[in-house]
Amino acid sequence: MNKKINLDAHLPLIAIIRGVTPEKVVAVATILIDEGFTAVEVPLNSPEALKSIKLLVDTFGENYLIGAGTVTTPELAKQVVATGANLVVTPNCNEEVIKISVAAGCATFPGIVTPTEAFNALAAGATGIKLFPISMLGLDGYKALNSVLPKGTLCYPVGGIEPTEESMRPYLEIGAAGFGLGSALYKATMSDEQIRSNARNYVAAYKACIQGH
């Protein structure tokens, strides 16, 4: 089963809902989707993560990017693919994980910091790369890395991106395609109102940056 994913149809903000439970995952994802998100990642170090991912796949179908983060081994990648997920995000560059995920038709974003990792990830077929943690690269490091990457490489900074134009714009101006958004968007302790407000602020800030281009 190789689903062809058109990333142009998606808002390039990946909601990372670490710590979400199967009891709450559909409600949380519904809030995010209502506010404009189309990509939701449940990290595998969340409680019963595979169960949550399957619930999201069954609820939202193929119109959204639904899948897993923290996919660190080929065995985990296979388990994620078995849920019907179409998004795989990793904190590291494991070429076998990338190949399994891509072969299953998943949008695949491995975590990288160095040029070696980036080129290995792309050679393995990665959809794009997750710049993680972006704090290690910083703007100057990303600018230098981007200067050697193949033109059009999709780069998503992750880690510490705030829901403001000031936080997002500098990365977008030097070539970032989107962002992965974690604890500033969602924590398991947040109320639905907090999650909704955070989601709205992120979408508004991103759109303001894009319109300003």
Residue 196: strand, helix, or coil: helix
What are the residue numbers of the active site?
Answer: 41, 130
Question: Is pLDDT at 161 greater than 70 in this prediction?
Answer: yes
212 or 208: which leads in pLDDT = 208
Cα–Cα distance for residue pair 159/135, rounded to 1 Å: 7
Question: Is pLDDT at 91 greater than 60 in this prediction?
Answer: yes
Residue 18: strand, helix, or coil: coil
Residue 160: left (phi > 0), alpha (psi -120 to 50), or beta? left
Q: What is the DSSP string of 115-155?
A: HHHHHHHHHTT-SSEEETTHHHHHHHHHHHHHTTSPTT--E
Check residue 39 and give its pLDDT.
98
User: pLDDT for 105-140, tens place per residue?
Assistant: 999 999 999 999 999 999 999 999 999 999 999 999
Question: Is pLDDT at 213 greater than 90 in this prediction?
Answer: no
Residue 165: strand, helix, or coil: helix
- Residue 204 buriedness (CB in 10 A; 0-12 / 13-18 / 19+): middle
Cα–Cα distance for residue pair 138/159, rounded to 1 Å: 11
* Lowest-confidence segment of 2-16, 52-66, 70-84 by average pLDDT: 2-16
Check residue 1 and give its pLDDT.
38
User: pLDDT for 166-197, tens place per residue?
Assistant: 999 999 999 999 999 999 999 999 999 999 99
Cα–Cα distance for residue pair 34/177, rounded to 1 Å: 22
Structural domains of the chain in order of their starting residue, each with its CATH number: 7-211 (3.20.20.70)
Question: Is pLDDT at 157 greater than 50 in this prediction?
Answer: yes
Maximum CA extent, the chain = 44
Q: Does residue 37 contact residue 43 with C-beta atoms inside 8 Å?
A: no
Mean pLDDT, residues 197-212: 95
pLDDT band at 2 (very low <50, low <70, confident <90, very high): very low
Check residue 120 and give its pLDDT.
98
Cα–Cα distance for residue pair 199/35, rounded to 1 Å: 6
Angle at 212 between CA 37 and CA 173, to 5 degrees: 85
Q: Does residue 130 contact residue 110 with C-beta atoms inside 8 Å?
A: yes
Cβ-based neighbour number of residue 74 at 10 Å: 16
Whether the predicted model's global pTM rises above the 0.95 cut: yes
Cα–Cα distance for residue pair 135/104, rounded to 1 Å: 31
User: pLDDT for 12-65, tens place per residue?
Assistant: 999 999 999 999 999 999 999 999 999 999 999 999 999 999 999 999 988 999
Give which of 121, 118, 108, 111 is closest to 80, Cα–Cα. Answer: 108
